Amino acid sequence: MSENYRPVVNHLTRIILKLIEEPVPYELVAPSELQPPSAAGVRRFGESLARRAERVAAMMDVLAARGFTFKFEKDRVFADSIEMEAQDAKRYLLTKGFEDTEFQVLLEYARKWDTL
């Protein structure tokens, strides 16, 4: 491929950060069917939600440093960039110590000018 090839598309890299992990860790509330829910279980559940929220916030911090902007929809935060490419964004998050199970990467292209 020519080194000077001019892209004919624009892109949007979107990192999807779910505020509540899936599957929702309800087993923390009542570890088995035989055990009734307990106050300690609910606290554990709350702590897991807090841990997740902290991870999401940490990812938002590092993404903000690379110019991502944020949107909130339903139960998730969208971190958007029209500068950073998707592969680079994933690599970046991994190098910052995050796991690829903690986020989802969505990449969308659009024609830069109208064509076929």
Residues that bind another protein (CB under 8 A): 1-2, 4-12, 14, 22, 80, 85-87, 90-91, 94, 99-101, 103-116
Q: How far is CA 25 from its chain centroid?
A: 18
CB of 66 to another protein, least distance (A): 16
Nearer to another protein by Cβ, of 23 and 36: the residue is 23
**Separation of alpha carbons 76 and 12, rounded Å:** 17
CB of 45 to another protein, least distance (A): 22
Q: How far is CA 84 from its chain centroid?
A: 15
Residue 28: CA count within 13 A, CB half-sphere: 13
Nearer to another protein by Cβ, of 18 and 44: the residue is 18
Nearer to another protein by Cβ, of 30 and 105: the residue is 105
Query: Could you give the angle at which helices 39-64 and 86-95 cross, rounded to 10 degrees?
Result: 120
CB of 81 to another protein, least distance (A): 11
